[in-house]
């Protein structure tokens, strides 16, 4: 186990150190709905909270960079040596699938699935994108069960109405001995030294996100729940890694300081998209109230007196081999 998973974060006193159809651009993937200044997928009227506009696509680069920093440039932790078929659920613009996996494993067939896939204009021949809701029957990428060596998920908190059903579908489509790997981002901000007051804006985010997920029927707390749900789905050797993501550069640890810098950028670029649809449609806020709240979050991100972090847990687990 990496010591950074469980170790306390030590504060740096240097305050100056802040640093299903195959996808086509002419398909239904280009149909959007416009809401409160952002665009969202209109695919099958699926009400996903995340925007799919250029701002959110650029934000995906930050999240991808944070994950690579956290995992020290490893693309996955599951002990899969030479995957031949890989599925990336919630692929977005396909950064993990196209930029990394397809390049590292040129002989593998990589499939990315999303309700609104936004791949880069050029992509390797060993990559395909499918537009689909993964809670629907897997058409075009799930033909025949037990077909994948690795199924990868990242950052789907607040997006799935029935996680047990999705894990059951993943279980069916993995080869015996194949792996699921999922990385999520906890909505619960915390501090170890009491510098995050219960009424602080970064603490209130946790309560708002939890409430919105509960009302919407799409839990925002899958980061805390996935280990047990994956185990209950029948997987074996379920392994949990709990990474700490500081918000800000207050940690003395060099890697945590770098993660904290980029996590501030993550919050600056991402928080409006995280909040706008859920807070207006589910919690009943006005756009103006969300805008004002986002401004207070941006101000809070500058406060180095708050030593705040959240977890970015990762779980991987194996489908059992067939009994002889």
- The rounded mean pLDDT for the chain is 88
In this model, does residue 219 exceed pLDDT 70? yes
The residue among 23, 230, 172 whose CA lies nearest residue 112 is 23
pLDDT computed for residue 143 by the predictor:
66
Which residues face 112 on adjacent strands? 88, 129
Burial of 120 (0-12, 13-18, 19+ CB in 10 A): exposed
What is the pLDDT confidence band of residue 201, given thresholds at 50, 70 and 90?
A: very high
- pLDDT > 70? residue 7: no
Average pLDDT over residues 232-256: 97
Q: Is residue 4 one of the residues assigned to a domain? A: no
Q: What per-residue confidence (pLDDT) applies to 31?
A: 64
In a domain, 239, yes or no: yes
- Tell me if 324 is assigned to some domain: no
- 161-to-9, 47, 71, 205, 217 alpha-carbon distances in Å: 34, 11, 28, 21, 6
As for how many domains the chain has, the answer is 1
Higher-confidence residue of 160 and 20: namely 160
Do residues 129 and 96 touch, judged by C-beta distance below 8 A? Answer: no
The tokens of 209 are what? 């996100």
**pLDDT grade for 10, boundaries at 50, 70 and 90:** low
Range of the domain at 74: 12-318
Say if 2 falls within a structural domain. no
Residue 212, in any domain of the structure: yes
Average pLDDT over residues 41-57: 72
Global pTM? 0.89
Which pLDDT tens digit goes with each residue over 59-103?
Answer: 999 999 999 999 999 999 999 999 999 999 999 888 999 879 999
- For residue 283, what pLDDT band results from cuts at 50, 70 and 90? very high
231-243 average pLDDT score: 98
Give me the CATH number covering residue 294. Answer: 3.40.50.150
DSSP letter at 12 equals P
Task: State the pLDDT at residue 300.
Answer: 96
pLDDT at 13 (0 to 100) = 52
What does the pLDDT average to over 111-116?
88
Kindly provide the b/e burial profile for residues 238-248, where b requires at least 16 CB atoms within 10 angstroms of the residue's own CB. Answer: bbbbbbbbbbb
CA separation, residue 186 to residues 48, 189, 205, 245 (Å): 18, 8, 11, 10
What is the phi/psi pair of residue 73, to 5°? 70, 10
**CB 221 within 8 Å of CB 229:** no
Q: Tell me, yes or no, whether 6 lies in a domain.
A: no
DSSP run (H or E) holding 245: strand 236-246
Report which secondary-structure segment, H or E, holds 194: none
Q: For the segment 128-167, what is each residue's pLDDT rounded down to a tens digit?
A: 988 888 888 887 787 678 899 999 999 999 889 999 999 9
Q: Which pLDDT score is estimated for 316?
A: 99
Whether 20 maps to a domain, the answer reads yes
pLDDT over threshold 80, residue 217? yes
Q: What is the pLDDT of residue 149?
A: 97
Asked whether residue 42 is assigned to any structural domain, the reply reads yes
pLDDT computed for residue 141 by the predictor = 81
């Amino acid at each position: 186990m990496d010591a950074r998973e469980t170790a306390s974060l030590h504060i740096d006193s240097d305050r100056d150190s802040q640093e299903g159809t195959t996808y086509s651009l002419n398909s239904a993937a280009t149909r959007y709905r416009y809401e409160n200044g952002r665009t969202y997928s209109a695919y099958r009227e699926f009400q996903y909270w995340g925007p799919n506009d250029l701002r959110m696509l650029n934000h995906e680069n930050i999240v991808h960079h944070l994950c690579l920093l956290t995992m020290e440039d490893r693309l996955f932790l599951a002990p899969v040596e030479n995957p031949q078929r890989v599925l990336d659920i919630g692929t977005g613009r396909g950064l993990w699938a196209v930029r990394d996996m397809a390049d590292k494993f040129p002989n593998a067939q990589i499939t990315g699935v999303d309700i609104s896939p936004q791949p880069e204009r050029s992509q390797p021949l060993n990559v395909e994108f499918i537009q689909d809701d993964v809670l629907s029957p897997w058409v075009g990428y799930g033909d025949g069960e037990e077909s994948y060596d690795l199924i990868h998920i990242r950052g789907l908190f607040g997006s799935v109405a029935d996680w047990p059903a999705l894990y059951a579908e993943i279980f069916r489509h993995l080869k015996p001995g194949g792996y699921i790997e999922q990385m999520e981002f906890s909505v619960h901000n915390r501090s170890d030294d009491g510098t995050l007051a219960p009424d602080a804006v970064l603490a209130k985010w946790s309560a708002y996100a939890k409430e919105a997920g509960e009302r919407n029927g799409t839990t925002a707390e899958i980061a805390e729940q996935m280990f047990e749900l994956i185990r209950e789905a029948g997987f074996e050797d379920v392994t949990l890694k709990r990474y700490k993501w500081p918000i800000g550069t207050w940690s003395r640890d060099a890697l945590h300081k770098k993660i904290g810098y980029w996590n501030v950028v993550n919050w600056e670029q991402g928080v409006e998209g995280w909040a706008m649809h859920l807070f207006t449609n589910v919690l009943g806020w006005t756009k103006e109230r969300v805008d004002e709240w986002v401004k207070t979050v941006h101000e809070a991100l500058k406060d180095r007196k708050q030593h705040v972090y959240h977890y970015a847990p990762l779980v991987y687990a194996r489908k059992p081999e067939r009994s002889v």
